[in-house]
Amino acid sequence: MLGCLERQWLGCNSCGQMVAAIVTQPPARRNRGKKIMPSPVAQHALNRGFSPELILTPERAGEDSFLYTLRALNPDICITAAYGNILPSKFLKIPPLGTVNIHPSLLPLYRGAAPVQRAIQDGVKETGVSLAFTVRALDAGPVIASQRWEVDDRIKAPDLLDLLFSEGSKLLIRELPSLLDGSAQAKAKPQDETKATLAPKITPEESWLCFNEEAVTLHNKVRAFAGWPGTRAKFAVMDKENGKQNVIELKIITTRVCSEIRSEGGEVDGLSFANGALLVPCGGGTVLEVLEVQLPGKKVVNAAAFWNGLRGQTLKKL
């Protein structure tokens, strides 16, 4: 949150403004040790010498005690980015210059909780980041500025998200003068509701891959769901000597689309290995090349290491 009340800096020398307070998620259990730790935003602020008293961590943005504290700080403007908490009208009425959100999509496209993931899942070639005023309707406020970004067909969601928020930060710094003198409100353009699309929250149940779909669809899903919740598939490991079958679950980490189309008359379920990749037959005669996998409780390994670990056993998709 930006304002001129508190005389504390948070590495914002380029814009010449001061941070009145930071609002972030409450401390939570993180990492393998499950220790209660501050959010990454709070930890960054503490590392930069920001006062702990001015790092606010309400469970909900509508809490009376939090709103009371915010009013006392008297911020000129509030800035949000990936906050993940619904902002009530009582909150939005506090800063006189409004609340501005950095949203990683070209609004009105991909409004909602997972704009980057859903865009990659759809296989878009271009996306971007928007600076928009926050209103009660979901990501529907007037757009102040936007920046387009070409999407590489290999980039994964966490990396694209970082890139877009980095660009969004630059966009914010560029637009701060107009935000603080009030001229941004006059130049902001209403969104075209007829072009609005939604980017709903991702659920763990969506992480399963169905190889009846074409390889490019699956590749985009692997990229989109990288980080969390990831993508999974079950395979049968067949022992040629005794005919026994063992079902394993693999987390699919990295893929690419094979340039060749397999023969429809060939093996439809069996996996093979070539050029450092597991070749998985998919819908429409396409082939997905799996480059990295992870067994439950194990480290990520490349396809060659996994294939060698099979020791001659065959692999079939389920």
- Model confidence over 6-25: pLDDT tens digits? 323 344 444 456 889 999 99
| 173 in Cβ contact with 86 (< 8 Å) | no
| 39 in Cβ contact with 24 (< 8 Å) | yes
Q: Which residue has the tokens 């939005």?
A: 92
| 248 in Cβ contact with 295 (< 8 Å) | yes
The residue type of 73 is: L
Handedness of CA 114, 117, 122, 123 (dihedral sign): positive
pLDDT at 259 > cutoff 90: no
pLDDT at 311 > cutoff 60: yes
* pLDDT one-digit tens code per residue, 70-109: 999 999 999 999 998 889 999 999 999 999 999 999 999 9
Q: Taking CA 81 as the corner, what is the angle to CA 78 and CA 87, rounded to the nearest 5 degrees? A: 60
Output the pTM of the full model.
0.91
The whole-chain average pLDDT of the chain stands at 91
Q: How far is CA 292 from CA 150, 253, 298, in A?
A: 25, 5, 12
What's the gap between Cα 247 and its chain centre? 31
Residue 101, SS3 per DSSP: strand
| 294 in Cβ contact with 232 (< 8 Å) | no
Query: How would you classify residue 269: left for phi > 0, otherwise alpha for psi between -120 and 50, otherwise beta?
Result: alpha
